[in-house]
Amino acid sequence: MVKFYNTMSRKLEEFIPGGVKKDSIDEYPPVSIYSCGPTVYGLAHIGNFRTFLFNDILRRFLKFRGFTVNHSMNITDVDDKTIKGAAAEGISLKEYTTRFTDIFFEDLKKLNIEDFEHYPRATESIDSMNDIINRLNSKDLVYRDGNSLYFSISKYDKYGKLSRIDPDAIKSGTRYDTDEYHKDDIRDFALWKEVEPDEQGWDIDMGHGRPGWHIECSAMIRKIYNSTIDIHTGGVDLVFPHHENEIAQSEAAYDEPFVRYWLHAEHLLVDNSKMSKSKGNFFTLNDLLEKGYPARSVRYLLMTAHYRKQFNFTLENLENAEQPLSRIDNIVELCLRSKKTGPVRPAVKDRISSLLDEFTTSLNHDLNISGAIGHLFEAVTDFNKIYNEDSFSKEEAESVIEVFKKIDTVLGFIFFKEKKSSQLSDEEIETYISRRNSAKSEKKWDEADSIRDLLLDKGIVLEDSKDGTRWKMV
Ligand SMILES: [Zn+2]
């Protein structure tokens, strides 16, 4: 049974997509997930990527368990920061946000984060914002000040249930005009904001302007899913006011629950303090790659801690991440080199099935990733012991690789493909193979072996048979 800690109830709850319990996982409807994505006004930092990796693990694990997922992450391409950034450079909002959106997607790929099903843009969901605002207005929850529209919190008595904010703290009629907020200070928030004459704006029934930040997510969720969604994720800093405001707008507009499970990822610290450019502890992904750290180590390190725990990132930890990864690489390589035939020993078979059980049980429990990774390394130790007693047969090696591949559909760091420009093309691989074949025919065994090893280092395995040599990627 999969359980998640729901921020709404502050409890661990059984995960039931669609809200109706079924006899088996394949009977459930696709799991609808919405993750608050980046505001594309600059480069995302590694704290952001920790949260995006949490989203990745979440969807990968649900698929591993047999659910299908229908996952969205928004791109906030209009807000105070993006407008300011575009104006400062004297370029259009679109040109400005496209640049950072492209880099963001490249970074996701470098970290082996899976493609989600939808990447909605705020600017493409204006029609849904219009619908929400009209509905709220018909319920007398909207008021106007100049050309801006505000949500009146004091008229909505269910406000505050996610963050458990004290409703008495509501300063009725006081407003936030910017998208930046002070923690714990409840004020009416802008649904639709006045624009300067030279600023880009959109028309909705209640006037010309641009969206407030919170309504963007409510609108995109409505547009894609059209009803209650299963999971909403985001960083813990979004619980209040962003997610609280999303709930208020969506539930008041549509009179149905907005979200079943709220999952929030904790902050990342760097050198035990909050990342900041002035402290010199602010890292983008490329900062780390340029220092020579592999993207694989970054992925591994950022996902080792449970998503609800603060994680302290240091360059030393990142350096140390290469050691456990090479332990895995070593056992994988032993497997790939195993050639003798023979049965699968019970010790190997049992260890494979206990690994799979332990891994699944850990993740079932609110995505206990550190537990799951711990079980993987215990199994690596045991596989090495078994191997040292007597090396693997080809059949044993294949079954070990198979379980690693299955586990790696969640972890994504065992068979991590570094996006290197030095990756070989098919033609280059064929050239190596024919060089190896001529070395073999000239009985230059060392040369033949060194070519095989070189290809293996690049993740290419050769299989010799009487019909010639075939290759495959691992
Ligand atoms: Zn959001």
Q: What is the pLDDT of residue 173?
A: 64
Please state which of the ranges 29-33, 209-213, 375-379 shows the lowest mean pLDDT. Answer: 209-213
Q: Please give the distance, rounded to the nearest whole angstrom, from the Cα atom of residue 40 to the centre of ligand 1.
A: 13
Q: Please give the distance, rounded to the nearest whole angstrom, from the Cα atom of residue 11 to the centre of ligand 1.
A: 22
Q: Please give the distance, rounded to the nearest whole angstrom, from the Cα atom of residue 31 to the centre of ligand 1.
A: 18
321 pLDDT exceeds 80? yes
Q: Please give the distance, rounded to the nearest whole angstrom, from the Cα atom of residue 217 to the centre of ligand 1.
A: 5
Within 8 A by CB and 6+ apart from 178, the residues are 80
Q: Please give the distance, rounded to the nearest whole angstrom, from the Cα atom of residue 380 to the centre of ligand 1.
A: 40
412 pLDDT exceeds 60? yes
H or E element in which residue 205 lies: none
Please provide the DSSP assignment of 410-472 as one string.
HH--TT-----TTPPPHHHHHHHHHHHHHHHHTT-HHHHHHHHHHHHHTTEEEEEETTEEEEE
Q: Which residue has the tokens 């299963």?
A: 230
pLDDT above 90: percentage of residues in the chain: 76
Q: Give the residue with greater pLDDT, 420 vs 40.
A: 40
Residue 442 CA to residue 445 CA, distance in Å, equals 8
Q: Please give the distance, rounded to the nearest whole angstrom, from the Cα atom of residue 259 to the centre of ligand 1.
A: 13
With bands split at pLDDT 50, 70 and 90, how would you rate the model's confidence at 79? confident
Would you call the peptide bond into 346 cis, given omega within 30 degrees of 0 as the criterion? no
Q: Please give the distance, rounded to the nearest whole angstrom, from the Cα atom of residue 97 to the centre of ligand 1.
A: 17
Q: Please give the distance, rounded to the nearest whole angstrom, from the Cα atom of residue 314 to the centre of ligand 1.
A: 28
Backbone angles phi, psi at 159, to 5 degrees: -65, 135
With bands split at pLDDT 50, 70 and 90, how would you rate the model's confidence at 220? very high
Q: Please give the distance, rounded to the nearest whole angstrom, from the Cα atom of residue 224 to the centre of ligand 1.
A: 14
H or E element in which residue 100 lies: helix 93-110
Q: Please give the distance, rounded to the nearest whole angstrom, from the Cα atom of residue 170 to the centre of ligand 1.
A: 22
Surrounding ion ligand 1 within 5 Å at CB are 36, 217
Q: Please give the distance, rounded to the nearest whole angstrom, from the Cα atom of residue 474 to the centre of ligand 1.
A: 38
Q: Please give the distance, rounded to the nearest whole angstrom, from the Cα atom of residue 30 to the centre of ligand 1.
A: 21
Q: Please give the distance, rounded to the nearest whole angstrom, from the Cα atom of residue 38 to the centre of ligand 1.
A: 9
With bands split at pLDDT 50, 70 and 90, how would you rate the model's confidence at 182? low
402 pLDDT exceeds 70? yes
Q: What is the pLDDT of residue 461?
A: 82
Q: Please give the distance, rounded to the nearest whole angstrom, from the Cα atom of residue 214 to the centre of ligand 1.
A: 6
CA angle in degrees (0–180, nearest 5) for 224-98-42: 105
Of 224, 223, 202, nearest in space to 83 by CA: 202
Q: What is the pLDDT of residue 165?
A: 84
The pTM for the full model equals 0.87
Q: Give the residue with greater pLDDT, 280 vs 406.
A: 406
With bands split at pLDDT 50, 70 and 90, how would you rate the model's confidence at 405? very high
Of 75, 131, 61, 161, nearest in space to 369 by CA: 61
What does the domain layout of the chain look like in residue ranges?
3-274, 321-416, 426-473
Q: Please give the distance, rounded to the nearest whole angstrom, from the Cα atom of residue 238 to the centre of ligand 1.
A: 8
Q: What is the pLDDT of residue 185?
A: 64
419 pLDDT exceeds 60? no
CB 165 within 8 A of CB 251: no
Q: Please give the distance, rounded to the nearest whole angstrom, from the Cα atom of residue 264 to the centre of ligand 1.
A: 12
Per residue in 231-285, pLDDT (tens digit) is 999 999 999 999 999 999 999 999 999 999 999 999 999 999 998 878 888 999 9
Mean pLDDT of the chain: 92
Q: What is the pLDDT of residue 421?
A: 43
In this structure, whether the domain defined by 3-274 belongs to CATH 3.40.50.620 is answered with yes
Q: Please give the distance, rounded to the nearest whole angstrom, from the Cα atom of residue 36 to the centre of ligand 1.
A: 4
Q: Please give the distance, rounded to the nearest whole angstrom, from the Cα atom of residue 242 to the centre of ligand 1.
A: 6
What's the whole-number mean pLDDT along residues 407-419?
90
Q: Please give the distance, rounded to the nearest whole angstrom, from the Cα atom of residue 29 to the centre of ligand 1.
A: 24
Q: Please give the distance, rounded to the nearest whole angstrom, from the Cα atom of residue 239 to the centre of ligand 1.
A: 10
CB 73 within 8 A of CB 116: yes
Q: Please give the distance, rounded to the nearest whole angstrom, from the Cα atom of residue 360 to the centre of ligand 1.
A: 30
Task: Catalogue the long-range contacts made by 392-395 (C-beta closer than 8 Å, 24 or more residues apart).
Answer: 392/334, 392/335, 392/338, 392/348, 393/338, 393/340, 393/341, 393/342, 393/343, 393/344, 394/338, 394/339, 394/340, 394/341, 394/342, 395/341, 395/342, 395/343, 395/344
